[in-house]
């Protein structure tokens, strides 16, 4: 169940801050653009802080990708009809609370507002989860850790996180890694030579210059890794970057053409 | 008679200068000859003493020249004595023709001339005398047939037009000298006729004498065409004829004969169409500028095409003339030919279509032209290149078009500013056969601009390279450095650089211009090994000399200061090379650093003087490196002599062998210190001066000085096409629309309106809240859901008991009801909304039965401006919409002419109904015209990016679309109505449902032409609008 340790390359002091928050059992909010490593960071922390103890949860982490139809029942649990019986089934949040695992609510602002308030009692000194359908109040396991994330970049004002929610979390900001570290990550994840990884990281850096000047989001480290993986599979570098990067980050013809010119400048086919 | 006879030879005459000279000449004759002269003199004196005296002056010479023909000569003169009236002017003029000229023309011509004079004098003695005087002076100097034709034209004037003709003929003859000099025999008849036509129209007094001197040297056919056109125009419109007659020759003066003939042919074809004449006259002053902007090699072919168009569609030809430079910028000759052929096919429909096509005022025209073009305009690729530069350099880039095409770009204006500098790129590149290749060159240039930013070119202060020649050398050395860095950092660019260098070095190396030479030198240095064979010899020679100096700059560690140092050294080496050739002493400061090779030919004196000055400056600089650049090189006291690029080229071209030797460090150190010590303000780059530039982005260049526009906050500008139903096509970029900020009030209007409609607003809010989605609703029949659906579970159990397969849909879920509506209200702010309207006595305010309320303090009989009612309606609606949560925006529109369409943002979709919006709502005021099409298109643009599922566009107006140039015929609304209708259709095509609301009772008349009956509403009672508008909104949004 423990599995192997996820790869994570620290960029700043995020490991120390998270560890301190965990020691105090403070919930953590990770803020940063898409594909910059938030999820991997949580996986890594869950693995590292879970220690040798096994709580039956793979990787000591339950991840919920939030969406606008996510209901309270989806998080907490529901009654299911099984044969002649009605059976209560814990939701992912309840499972984590009971087992003392990490619960990671990814892109929390996408969830419905009535769903988000469910986590409030878990995030203060009470650390409880009321399950109203069962009339039960569940106290969180001492090792339970709640982590949420959101990307302030492209969220509209309508989807901003309410203060009553965000002021319950310790916040760690994430951004894309500097070129050398990003190259190291790409090289490790895609298993490509360092010089190719550096070129890809440079491409990422160049494309991110357009953020705010047409691009809502810069190209993610994840996409750079995808490009590297395609190249490793034998796809020509320009084609790989076009497929994994320029076509993925925008539909705007002009932006795409400009990005493809930069790809052409950086890579020889 | 003898006594009388001798009276003409009196003392007074003989003591005059002419008489005394004649007497002296007579004394050289034999007595018999003299007696003959006296005899003829006596005979003449009987009829005119002055004629006799004139004869006496001419006779001695003539007697010697003519011999036996003398008597014939006198007899001709004698015949004229009686014909010219008592004064004997004709004979006097006859005898004034000197012997030499008379002998040259011969007695036959003299006789013809005399007959001509007699003939005219027979009709008018005065005219006869005028003709005699005018012709006597030119006889023998101008060919007789020409004189005769000129005179015949004068006679014809008199004969055909009586006394009026006599007046004209008098003016005609007065301009004789000019006419005989400038015109030919074949021209006189039509020239004289032109005077008649203009004279009849009240012109012509000064016409003959004003004959433009520019026609000198024109061919017979050209002059004939010119006069023919003038005459044809004058017959229809005297003013037009006169304008052409006076203005055309000067406008054509600068053209070669081949071009002139074609232009006249085009003018003649255009002038045949009376409707095209005003445009022709307007276009004539532009000929020089328009034709001059066409590539020289293609001018004749271009004018052939113009003539072709002029013959088929005269009115369109002038339009074509105006846009020809732009057309040739975009397409090569074959492309232009195809464009013209297509235009002639399209233009065959009607003149208006042809005019729009050949004036590049229709989308089709642009499309055809673009299809034929292989060149790339910065306008089209500026967006991509700007982003390319931004990405490479990490700074925003603003591109501006510059004239000319060079590899070394001008230094960036405002480099290093946070908002990014201004990068000059060629406005157009058309030097390669395909669009892709032209773009490739653009990309290399853009990469160079980005490279300068990325690799620190602008760390060198501009003062350090203020000297134009040094700046040119710095562009060379730093260009080499930047290009090498780019190729190293961006391996994909290396093939592009090699390709550009290979393709251009040959062409540019052969170019005589100095700037191109340096470009070619740089390109040669950038060529990959093995490709040097493509370098022209003169460039190769200089490149071989310069390459050793440039080589160290290829290192990734080289900085812009290094490039400056090498430029300085090259500069000094250039001086050294000159000195070596001239035998002068070498520059001590650089001796250790440089070995100058073989001697070269001596330089010109001018260059020697320059070299001496530069050497003095360099020597001083070497001994005192702390001096600032300004003092040494560019300061007022320095007295520097800037070298031109041509001089530099010649020195480099001379092929001095230049090599940086082991002493480089010593030599360079001083320069390095000097370069690092540079300080002071950024000098203006002289290369930039005189550069024509055009902003790629819109939003600049708003004309000033219009009082109604003064003092306003103008936002971005946009260009929109407009539909011309005559053409059946769009006029591209026809309207220039500006967003203008509205000056709001203090929010008073908003508050007053809310108070006035205090009863209506809460009621509307309640109504709107009813249409608001409940938020969530329970939905049954899910296989997976939040809760168990008991009914379904019981049914399932029953099914099981009945041994049937139960339904798996046992759960229910709460699903969100999505109301995803966006609406934009576009409000007509034309001047007509200032009109006051009277309403029926208002009901008592604030009763639920009658929701319409009368604002407090207002009289029982309502009188309000239409705009105020519209504003009230918007306030009430906005407040109601806040309750329902729909996204909405409010924009006003007005303007004046297609160049000044204005949209006034009141509330954008992103804004809340805060104090700023409330203030702006109060600030809505009547402005000017109603150009609906452009405003609608702008509104559509505001909405297309919205993700809302349902989008609505409400147009609130008080009348039909109207503007002073909304269609050619101001009296007709058809153009505006059709354009608006098309704009409404465009909105529908974009997924936006338009709805028109008008308070104009005659609205049915035109709204039915603009949209379907279900898409508009005419409000009969203006005052009901605040009450009705929210209901309209509910109905429109609710039913769709």
Region class of A121: left (phi > 0), else alpha (psi between -120 and 50), else beta: alpha
Give the relative orientation of helices A194-208 and A253-266 as an angle to the nearest 10 degrees: 150
Give B982's contacts (C-beta < 8 A, 6+ positions apart): B723, B933
Contact B904, B924 (CB under 8 A): yes
Residues of B with CB under 8 A from a CB of A: 383-388, 390-396, 443, 447, 489-496, 785-788, 793, 796, 810, 813-816, 910
The pLDDT value recorded for residue B416 is 67
B9 or B874, which is more confident?
Answer: B874
Which of B384, B385, B390 lies closest to A209 in CB terms? B390
* CA atoms of B441 and B505, how far apart (whole Å): 13
State how beta strands B729-740 and B776-782 pair: unpaired
Residue B706: band (very low, low, confident or very high) from pLDDT cuts 50, 70, 90: very low
Burial B301-337 (b: 16+ CB within 10 A, else e): bbbebbbbbbbbbbbbbbbbbbbbbebbbbbbbebbb
Distance, in Å, from the CA atom of B145 to the CA atom of B149, rounded to the nearest integer, reads 6
Question: Tokens 């469910």 label which residue?
Answer: A118
Minimum-distance CB partner of B788 among A79, A214, A265 = A79
Q: Which two tokens stand for residue B395?
A: 């700074």
As a whole number of angstroms, the distance between CA B838 and CA B398 comes to 54
Q: How far apart are CA B586 and CA B592, in angstroms?
A: 11
Is the Cβ of A264 closer than 8 Å to some Cβ of chain B?
Answer: yes
Span B419-445, mean pLDDT? 86
pLDDT of residue B861: 62
Q: Determine which helix (DSSP H) or strand (DSSP E) holds B866, and give its type and residue range.
A: helix B866-884
Distance from CA of A194 to the nearest CA of B (A): 15
- In B, minimum Cα distance to A158 occurs at B910
Distance in angstroms between the alpha carbons of the first and the last residue of chain A? 44
DSSP designation for A245: I
A81 vs B contacts (CB less than 8 Å)? 788, 793, 796, 810
- Tell me the H-state helices in B284-423: 287-292, 299-312, 314-330, 333-347, 351-358, 363-372, 378-393
Specify the 3-state DSSP secondary structure of B401: strand
Strongest mean pLDDT among B41-50, B438-447, B836-845: B438-447
Other CB atoms within 10 Å distance of the CB of residue B348:
11
- How many CB atoms are closer than 10 A to CB B789? 21
pLDDT of residue B604: 37
Q: Using 50, 70 and 90 to split pLDDT, how confident is the model at A235? A: very high
> Whole-number mean pLDDT of chain B?
78
Contacts B495 to A, Cβ<8 Å: 268
Mean pLDDT of A195-201: 95
Note the pLDDT of residue A85: 83
CA distance B764 to B876: 8
**pLDDT category of residue B328 using cuts at 50, 70 and 90:** confident
Q: Which of A119, A124, A114, A125 is nearest to A92 (CA)?
A: A119
Q: Which of A62-66, A178-182, A195-199, B358-362 is least confident?
A: B358-362
Q: Which residues of A touch B386 (CB under 8 A)?
A: 258
Question: Which residue from A81, A209, A265 is facing B793, i.e. has the nearest CB?
Answer: A81
Question: Is A71's CB within 8 Å of B495's CB?
Answer: no
B382/B696 Cα distance (integer angstroms): 7
Of A93-97, B640-644, B805-809, the range with the lowest mean pLDDT is: B640-644
Please give the span between the terminal C-alpha atoms of chain B, in angstroms, as a whole number. 123
Give B-chain residues touching A131 at CB under 8 angstroms: none
Classify the phi-psi angles of B994: left when phi > 0, otherwise alpha if psi is within -120 to 50, otherwise beta.
beta
The whole-angstrom separation of Cα B822 and Cα B842 is 34
Distance CA B150, CA B148 (A): 5
Per the CB < 8 Å rule, is B491 touching A266?
A: yes
ipTM of the complex: 0.89
Contacts of A238 in chain B (CB under 8 A): 492
Q: Render pLDDT for B991-1029 as a digit per residue (tens, 0 to 9).
A: 899 999 998 888 888 888 888 888 888 888 888 888 888
Is B624 a residue whose pLDDT tops 80?
no
Whether B252 has a pLDDT exceeding 50, the answer reads yes
Check whether B244 has a pLDDT greater than 60.
yes
Residue A224 has pLDDT above 50, yes or no: yes
Reported as a single tens digit per residue, the pLDDT across B874-904 is 998 888 888 777 889 999 999 899 999 999 9
List Cβ neighbours of B531 (8 Å cut-off, separation of 6 or more): B498, B501, B502
Residue A219, pLDDT above cutoff 80 = yes
Six token digits for residue A211: 């953020």
What's chain A's length in residues?
Answer: 269
pTM (2 decimals)? 0.59
Closest CB to A213 among B396, B494, B785: B396
Degrees, nearest 5: CA angle B935-B938-B939: 90
- State how far the Cα of B699 lies from the Cα of B715, in Å rounded to an integer: 8
Q: Which alpha helices (H) appear in B885-1024, and where do they start and end?
A: 915-922, 932-944, 974-989, 1003-1010
Confidence (pLDDT) at B170: 84
Averaged pLDDT score across all residues of chain A: 90
- For residue B395, give the chain A residue with the closest CA: A209
- Contact flag B815-A69 (C-beta cutoff 8 Å): yes
User: Which residue from A74, A262, A268 is facing B388, i.e. has the nearest CB?
Assistant: A262
Give chain A positions within 8 Å (CB) of B496.
Answer: 265
Would you call B631 exposed, middle or buried from its count of C-beta atoms within 10 A (0-12, 13-18, 19+)?
Answer: middle
* Per-residue confidence (pLDDT) for residue A9, from 0 to 100: 95
Q: Are A21 and A28 within 8 A, CB to CB?
A: yes
H helix or E strand, kind and range, residue B32: helix B31-45
> How far is C-alpha B842 from the geometric centre of its chain's CA atoms?
58
Cβ-proximal residues to B125 (8 Å cutoff; 6+ apart), any chain: B84, B85
Residues 6+ apart with CB under 8 A from B547: B525
Residue A86, token pair as written in the block: 């009605």
Helix axes B89-96, B99-123, angle to 10 degrees: 160
Q: Which residue of A has its CA nearest to B910?
A: A157
By the 8 A CB rule, do B827 and B956 touch? yes
Number of neighbouring beta carbons within 10 Å of residue B884: 22
Residues B416, B560: contact at Cβ < 8 Å? Answer: no
Give the mutation candidate from A72, A89, A258 for the B interface (greatest B CB count, under 10 A): A258
Contact assessment for residue A126 and residue A113, using Cβ atoms and an 8 Å cutoff: no
pLDDT of the residue at B840: 53
Asked whether the beta carbons of B962 and B982 are under 8 A apart, the reply is: no
Cβ–Cβ below 8 Å for A210 and B786: no
Contact B564, B460 (CB under 8 A): yes
**Residue B444, number of CB atoms within 10 A of its CB:** 21
- Determine whether B358 is exposed, middle or buried from the number of CB atoms within 10 Å of its CB (0-12, 13-18, 19+): buried
The reported pLDDT for the residue numbered B818 is: 64
From the number of C-beta atoms within 10 Å of its C-beta (0-12, 13-18, 19+), residue B82 rates as middle
A259 close to B (CB below 8 A): yes
- For B578-597, write each residue's pLDDT tens digit: 555 554 333 333 233 333 33
Q: Are residues B304 and B266 in contact, defined by beta-carbon separation less than 8 angstroms? A: no
For the beta carbon of residue A182, count every other beta carbon within 10 angstroms: 25
Cross-strand pairs, A90? A77
Residue B701 is predicted with a pLDDT of 31
Task: Flag the least confident range among A126-140, B651-665, B671-685.
Answer: B671-685
B130-164 confidence digits (pLDDT tens)? 888 888 888 888 888 988 898 888 888 888 887 77
Distances (CA, A) of B210 to B206, B225, B249: 6, 18, 12
């Amino acid at each position: 169940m423990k599995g192997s340790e996820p790869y994570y390359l620290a960029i700043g002091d995020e490991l120390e801050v998270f560890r301190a928050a965990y020691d105090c059992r403070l919930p953590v909010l990770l803020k940063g653009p898409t594909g910059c490593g938030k999820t991997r960071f949580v996986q890594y922390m869950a693995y590292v802080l879970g220690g040798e103890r096994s709580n039956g949860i793979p990787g000591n982490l339950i991840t919920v990708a939030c969406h606008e139809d996510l209901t309270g029942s989806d998080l907490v649990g529901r009654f299911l009809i099984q044969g002649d019986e009605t059976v209560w089934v814990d939701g992912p949040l309840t499972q984590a609370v009971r087992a003392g695992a990490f619960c990671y609510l990814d892109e929390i602002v996408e969830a419905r507002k009535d769903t988000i308030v469910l986590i409030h009692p878990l995030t203060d000194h009470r650390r409880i989860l009321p399950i109203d359908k069962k009339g039960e109040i569940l106290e969180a396991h001492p090792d339970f850790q709640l982590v949420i994330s959101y990307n302030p970049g492209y969220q509209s004002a309508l989807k901003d996180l309410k203060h009553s929610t965000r002021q319950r979390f310790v916040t760690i900001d994430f951004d894309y890694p500097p070129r050398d570290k990003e190259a190291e990550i790409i090289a490790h994840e895609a298993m490509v030579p360092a010089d190719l990884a550096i070129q890809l990281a440079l491409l990422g850096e160049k494309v991110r210059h357009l953020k705010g000047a047409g691009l809502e989001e810069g190209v993610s480290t994840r996409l750079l890794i995808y490009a590297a993986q395609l190249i490793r599979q034998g796809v020509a570098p320009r084609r790989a970057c076009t497929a994994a990067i320029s076509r993925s980050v925008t539909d705007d013809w002009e932006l795409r053409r400009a990005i493809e010119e930069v790809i052409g400048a950086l890579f020889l086919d | 008679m003898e006594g009388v006879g001798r009276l003409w030879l009196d003392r007074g005459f003989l003591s005059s200068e002419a008489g005394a000279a004649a007497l002296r000449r007579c004394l050289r004759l034999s007595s018999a000859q003299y007696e003959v002269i006296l005899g003829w003199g006596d005979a003449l004196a009987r009829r005119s003493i002055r004629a006799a005296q004139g004869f006496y002056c001419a006779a001695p010479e003539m007697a010697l020249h003519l011999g036996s023909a003398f008597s014939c000569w006198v007899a001709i003169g004698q015949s004229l004595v009686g014909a010219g009236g008592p004064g004997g002017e004709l004979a006097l003029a006859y005898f004034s023709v000197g012997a030499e000229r008379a002998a040259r023309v011969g007695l036959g011509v003299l006789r013809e001339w005399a007959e001509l004079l007699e003939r005219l004098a027979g009709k008018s003695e005065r005219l006869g005398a005028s003709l005699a005087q005018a012709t006597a002076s030119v006889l023998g100097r101008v060919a007789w047939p020409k004189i005769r034709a000129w005179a015949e034209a004068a006679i014809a004037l008199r004969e055909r037009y009586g006394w009026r003709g006599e007046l004209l003929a008098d003016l005609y003859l007065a301009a004789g000298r000019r006419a005989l000099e400038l015109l030919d025999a074949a021209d006189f008849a039509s020239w004289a006729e032109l005077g008649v036509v203009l004279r009849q129209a009240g012109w012509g007094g000064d016409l003959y004498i004003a004959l433009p001197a520019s026609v000198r040297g024109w061919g017979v056919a050209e002059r004939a065409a010119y006069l023919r056109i003038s005459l044809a125009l004058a017959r229809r419109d005297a003013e037009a004829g006169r304008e052409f007659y006076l203005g055309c020759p000067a406008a054509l003066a600068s053209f070669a004969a081949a071009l002139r003939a074609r232009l006249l042919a085009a003018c003649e074809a255009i002038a045949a169409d009376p409707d095209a004449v005003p445009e022709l006259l307007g276009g004539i002053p532009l000929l020089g500028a328009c034709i001059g902007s066409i590539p020289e090699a293609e001018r004749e072919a271009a004018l052939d095409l113009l003539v072709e168009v002029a013959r088929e569609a005269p009115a369109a030809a002038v339009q074509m003339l105006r846009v020809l430079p732009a057309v040739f910028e975009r397409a090569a000759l074959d492309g232009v030919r195809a464009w013209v052929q297509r235009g002639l096919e399209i233009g065959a429909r009607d003149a208006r279509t042809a005019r729009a096509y050949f004036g590049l005022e229709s989308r089709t025209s642009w499309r055809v032209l673009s299809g034929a073009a292989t060149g790339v305009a910065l306008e089209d690729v500026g967006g991509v290149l700007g982003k390319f530069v931004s990405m490479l350099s990490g700074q925003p880039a603003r591109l501006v078009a510059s004239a000319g095409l060079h590899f070394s770009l001008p230094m960036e204006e405002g480099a290093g500013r946070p908002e990014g500098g201004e990068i000059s790129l060629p406005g157009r590149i058309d030097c390669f056969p395909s669009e892709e290749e032209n773009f490739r060159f653009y990309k290399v240039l853009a990469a160079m601009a980005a490279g300068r930013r990325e690799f620190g070119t602008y760390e060198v202060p501009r003062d350090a390279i203020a000297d134009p020649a040094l700046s040119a050398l710095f562009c060379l050395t730093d260009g080499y450095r930047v290009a090498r860095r780019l190729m190293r950092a961006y391996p994909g660019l290396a093939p592009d650089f090699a390709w550009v260098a290979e393709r251009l070095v040959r062409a540019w190396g052969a170019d005589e211009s100095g700037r191109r030479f340096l470009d070619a030198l740089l390109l040669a240095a950038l060529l990959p090994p093995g490709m040097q064979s493509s370098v022209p010899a003169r460039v190769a020679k200089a490149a071989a000399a310069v390459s050793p100096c440039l080589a160290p700059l290829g290192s990734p560690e080289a900085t812009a200061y290094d490039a400056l140092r090498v430029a300085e050294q090259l500069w000094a080496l250039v001086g050294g090379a000159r000195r070596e050739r001239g035998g002068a002493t070498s520059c001590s400061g650089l001796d250790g650093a440089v070995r100058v090779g073989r001697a070269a030919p001596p330089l010109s004196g001018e260059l020697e003087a320059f070299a001496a000055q530069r050497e003095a400056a360099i020597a001083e600089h070497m001994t005192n490196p702390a001096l600032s650049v300004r003092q040494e090189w560019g300061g007022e006291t320095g007295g520097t002599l800037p070298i031109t690029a041509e001089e530099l080229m010649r020195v480099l071209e001379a092929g001095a062998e230049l090599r940086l030797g082991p002493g480089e460090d010593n030599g360079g150190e001083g320069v390095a210190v000097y370069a690092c010590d540079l300080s002071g303000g950024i000098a203006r780059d002289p290369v930039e001066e005189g550069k024509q530039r055009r902003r790629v982005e819109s939003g600049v260049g708003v004309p000033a000085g219009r009082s109604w526009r003064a003092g306003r906050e103008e936002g971005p500008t946009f260009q929109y096409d407009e539909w011309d139903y005559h053409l059946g096509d769009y006029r591209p970029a026809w309207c220039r629309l500006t967003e203008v900020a509205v000056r709001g009030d203090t929010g008073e209007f908003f508050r007053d309106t809310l108070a006035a409609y205090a009863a209506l607003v809460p009621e509307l809010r309640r109504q709107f809240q009813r249409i608001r989605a409940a938020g969530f609703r329970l939905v049954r029949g899910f296989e997976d859901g939040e809760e168990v659906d008991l009914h379904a579970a019981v049914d399932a159990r029953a099914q099981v008991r009945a041994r049937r397969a139960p339904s798996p849909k046992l759960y229910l879920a709460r699903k969100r009801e999505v109301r995803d509506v966006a609406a934009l209200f576009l409000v007509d702010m034309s001047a007509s909304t200032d009109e006051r309207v009277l309403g029926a006595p208002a009901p008592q305010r604030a009763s639920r039965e009658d929701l319409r309320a009368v604002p407090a303090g207002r009289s029982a009989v309502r009188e309000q401006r239409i705009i105020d009612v519209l504003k009230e309606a918007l306030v009430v609606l906005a407040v109601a919409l806040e309750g329902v949560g729909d996204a909405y925006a409010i924009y006003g529109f007005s303007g004046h002419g297609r160049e000044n369409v204005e949209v006034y943002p009141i509330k954008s979709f992103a804004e809340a109904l805060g104090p700023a919006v409330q203030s702006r709502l109060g600030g809505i005021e009547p402005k000017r015209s109603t150009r609906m099409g452009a405003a609608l298109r702008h509104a559509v643009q505001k909405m297309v990016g919205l993700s809302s599922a349902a989008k609505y566009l409400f147009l609130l107006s008080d009348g039909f679309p109207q503007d002073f140039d909304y269609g050619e015929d101001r009296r007709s609304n058809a153009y505006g109505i059709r354009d608006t209708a098309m704009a409404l259709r465009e909105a529908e095509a974009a997924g936006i449902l338009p709805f028109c609301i008008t308070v104009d009772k005659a609205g049915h008349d035109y709204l039915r032409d603009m949209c379907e009956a279900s898409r508009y509403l005419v409000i009969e009672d203006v005052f009901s609008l605040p009450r009705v508008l929210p209901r309209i909104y509910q109905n429109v949004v609710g039913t769709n």
